[in-house]
Amino acid sequence: MTTSFHPPQRTLMEPGPSDVNPRILEAMSRPTIGHLDPLFVQMMDEMKGLLQYAFQTQNELTIPVSAPGSAGMETCFVNLVEAGDTVIVCQNGVFGGRMKENVERCGATAIMVEDEWGKACDPAKLEAALKAHPEATTVAFVHAETSTGATTDVKAMCDLAHAHGCLAIVDAVTSLGGTELRVDDWGVDAIYSGTQKCLSCTPGLSPVSFSSAAIERIQNRKTKVQSWFLDLNLVMGYWGKGAKRAYHHTAPINALYALHEALVLLQDERLENAWARHREHHNALKAGLEALGLTFVVPEADRLPQLNAVSIPEGVDDAQVRGMLLNDYNLEIGAGLGVMAGKVWRIGLMGYACRKDNVLKCVSALSEVLGRVGVNVDGKKAMKATLAAYGE
């Protein structure tokens, strides 16, 4: 007979999901009310304001899509791209490739601008592509590439897009709440994220935001948006202003309670403090990992604090080490993706998981496991380096 499922308490230091703040889990357990209940509508309005703060934008169309970050990505593309369009996609990892898939499924042409995995997207390459393709309408790139831990200069890329008459679509799934992101100041036209990373919320929702220029394009499309569920012309009837809302879909009510609580926590901490916290704990983790002899994939200037990709020592079995960490320490770290599969570990340091006790646990556990599989490491030296980075 099947019984209730009770998962173990893990420490999630993978690329996502991250550890969920207990306050957010408690929020999910609150009584379910109707998705058109006046009190729920009031909470929706609060959430829009909280998301505007998190994104640093005044965009009216700033909402959570009722599905994971991949649906946020698709929301941007299906609303802004039409068949026959040309879209320049800058790829420096797995998720730029997913942008390409979205472009092509919209019936548009994707012009790929490739950069080495682990490096930032190169604005000079984008500029050359824009000059070569004056018919392009849109530029798309990833701010924080989850497959490598590399970050790209959003403002420089958006400025180039606008200079050539294009709108800019930005993937901020791993950056929102963890590293500097300023939608209005940097000129982003459409952006999407996820709840399960630096917001420390459960998976299943995708915050998005659209500029007035993006809204104008959506409202002046020649064809219908190919997805009924993600058509923002319809969704805005539910997420629009005022108490009177048009029914579009049954919102994931308790999941939205959780996101509201996550955004309240971010508001209370303040964005700049959250960004600084991720940087502080990254520096400590970096000190410990480097003392173990591990090397980072991404150059320091382009490196995300919340996603740490390190090369696997020669001769070490990737899955074996991750399995030992999971089984013996209840600690989960991530494997490499795409061309980096089997070559790197991706260690997340996101949101509620971005804490000193987790950093110390990770360095200690990894040093013990590496020693067990035959790697010559000095665990005491690594712990000493980690604590020294904290000023101890």
Q: What is the pLDDT of residues 22-74, one digit of tens each?
A: 999 999 999 999 998 999 999 999 999 999 999 999 999 999 999 999 999 99
Question: Same domain, yes or no, for 275 and 352?
Answer: yes
Look-up: residue for tokens 């701010």? 143
Question: Same domain, yes or no, for 345 and 206?
Answer: no
On whether residue 9 sits in a domain, the answer given is no
Asked if 35 contacts 164 with a C-beta cutoff of 8 angstroms, the reply is no
Question: Same domain, yes or no, for 277 and 256?
Answer: no
> For 331-353, what is the mean pLDDT?
97
Domain of 151, in residue numbers: 22-267
The string of pLDDT tens digits covering residues 128-172 is: 999 999 999 999 999 999 999 999 999 999 999 999 999 999 999
Question: Same domain, yes or no, for 60 and 79?
Answer: yes
How far apart are alpha carbons 40 and 32 in whole angstroms? 10
Domain boundary pick from 267, 293, 310: 267
On whether residue 2 sits in a domain, the answer given is no
- What pLDDT, on a 0 to 100 scale, did the predictor assign at position 240? 75
Question: Same domain, yes or no, for 309 and 247?
Answer: no
Domain boundary pick from 212, 235, 267: 267
On whether residue 5 sits in a domain, the answer given is no
pTM of this structure: 0.96
Question: Same domain, yes or no, for 300 and 187?
Answer: no
pLDDT at 202 over 80: yes
Q: Residue 17, preceding bond cis, omega within 30 degrees?
A: yes
Burial of residue 241, with CB atoms counted within 10 A of its CB: 0-12 exposed, 13-18 middle, 19 or more buried: exposed
DSSP 177-244: TTS---HHHHT-SEEE--SSSTT-PPSS-EEEEE-HHHHHHHHT-SS--S-STT-HHHHHHHHSSSS-
CATH of residue 42: 3.40.640.10
On whether residue 10 sits in a domain, the answer given is no
CATH of residue 306: 3.90.1150.10
Question: Same domain, yes or no, for 180 and 66?
Answer: yes
Question: Same domain, yes or no, for 313 and 261?
Answer: no
On whether residue 11 sits in a domain, the answer given is no
**Phi first, then psi: what are they for 170, rounded to 5°?**
-125, 130
On whether residue 296 sits in a domain, the answer given is yes
Give the chain's mean pLDDT.
96
On whether residue 1 sits in a domain, the answer given is no
Domain boundary pick from 247, 267, 287: 267
- State how many domains the chain has: 2
C-alpha distances (whole Å) from 112 to each of 56, 74, 121, 140, 209 are 29, 18, 12, 10, 24
Question: Same domain, yes or no, for 227 and 338?
Answer: no
Question: Same domain, yes or no, for 193 and 277?
Answer: no
